Amino acid sequence: MHRQITVELGNRSYPIMIGRDLGAPIIEAIQTLKQANRPIALITDSEVDKCQSAFIETCFKDLPKWVLPAGESNKNLVNFADTLEYFAGLGLDRSTTLIAFGGGVVGDFAGYVAASYMRGIDFIQIPTTLLSMVDSSVGGKTGVNLKAGKNLVGAFHQPQAVFIDIERLDTLPSAQFSSGMAEIIKAGMLADVAFFEQLESFKRLDPSSPELADVIQRSCEIKAEVVAADEKESAASGGRALLNLGHTFGHAIEQCTNYTRYLHGEAIAIGMMMACKLSEDLGFISAADSKRVQALFETYGLPARLVEPLEKESLMTAMGRDKKKKQGSLKYVVLKQLGTAMTQPDIDSALIEAALEFGGAN
């Protein structure tokens, strides 16, 4: 049994199917493509290829497969070029559909390959981590990293469909599950206080929790609504940029630790606490609100502060290279109140430094 929501983008709208054991509808989608004589290829990573080998054998056994080395550092231009050469060597044409089977690294990477190969081919997202289920698989942001920063090269390229099979989480390490919960908590913080309160009311969720399908669905609905209103993050204020709550800080933390010290959700949790401090200092939310956020992070073992200090100067430099910077300045996402976020330009650098210090920078 599954449920379905739609990302409304006119003639580029697409379904998100959510449920347990979606092997049958995935195989059906592949058979439909084959019957239309459309080539299909698979991109996964070395970790997923090992942990999900039975599912891969069942659903994708006869498809050409490119296995990316696991890890954020491998989402780079060298591997991107090698993948394109592999597909060109197979003779894949513009009617090809690419399947991204993995976490956020695979989804971002495969999406950009799809956006670029033959000037754009179709792709399907089948996320295997909670983080990718509620975040990177929805919305069409694709990309790879440069040494200067995360996702600095990429494209907006929407998938044809997203299949969120909750059973794929059965092999997910606990820390990775918690990393995904950071993005779910973010959704409530920025857009739905009732959802945030619902998350507070639960005991610690895990892959077997009966509430998980509803939680994933609501998170995807929030993101889909934002994306439909501002697909390419072009709104003068608010819009899709609101989904970056905590990310300007969090991406800087990831960059300054070479993407090896923190999982994405862990870095973003610290970044969101910094954003809470900034929101407090701007006179919006209260210290009590920040403590509620921190308590929810702690439920999932997510850090509220840097485990080891980082230099403020290094973090500020990294933030200065953020891809969301426009006309030489950054707009930070802050909380007007729990459940309502907004973008705030021209923030005094002293307040940014105070937020960094609050998060453990020196």
Q: Which residues are catalytic?
A: 119, 141, 183, 223, 233, 240, 244, 247, 251, 264
Rounded distance between C-alpha atoms, residue 286 and residue 279, angstroms: 8
- Scanning 95-137, the segments in alpha helix (DSSP H) are 104-116, 130-131
Q: Are 296 and 199 in contact (CB under 8 A)?
A: yes
| Strand order from edge to edge, sheet including 161-165 | 2-7, 14-19, 161-165, 122-127, 97-102, 40-45, 65-68
- Scanning 151-301, the segments in alpha helix (DSSP H) are 174-191, 193-201, 212-229, 247-256, 264-281, 287-299
Q: Is 102 helix (H, G, I), strand (E, B) or coil?
A: strand
How is residue 124 written in tokens?
Answer: 């399907």
Query: Within 13 Å and on the Cβ side, how many CA atoms surround 333?
Result: 27
Look at the chain and count its residues: 362
CA distances for 300 relative to 212, 230, 292, 296, angstroms: 14, 31, 13, 7
The separation between the first and the last C-alpha atoms of the chain, rounded to the nearest angstrom, is: 51
Instruction: State the DSSP code for 306.
Output: -
Q: Are 100 and 110 in contact (CB under 8 A)?
A: yes
Q: Are 304 and 297 in contact (CB under 8 A)?
A: yes
User: Can you say whether the dihedral through the CA atoms of 311, 312, 315, 321 is positive or negative?
Assistant: negative
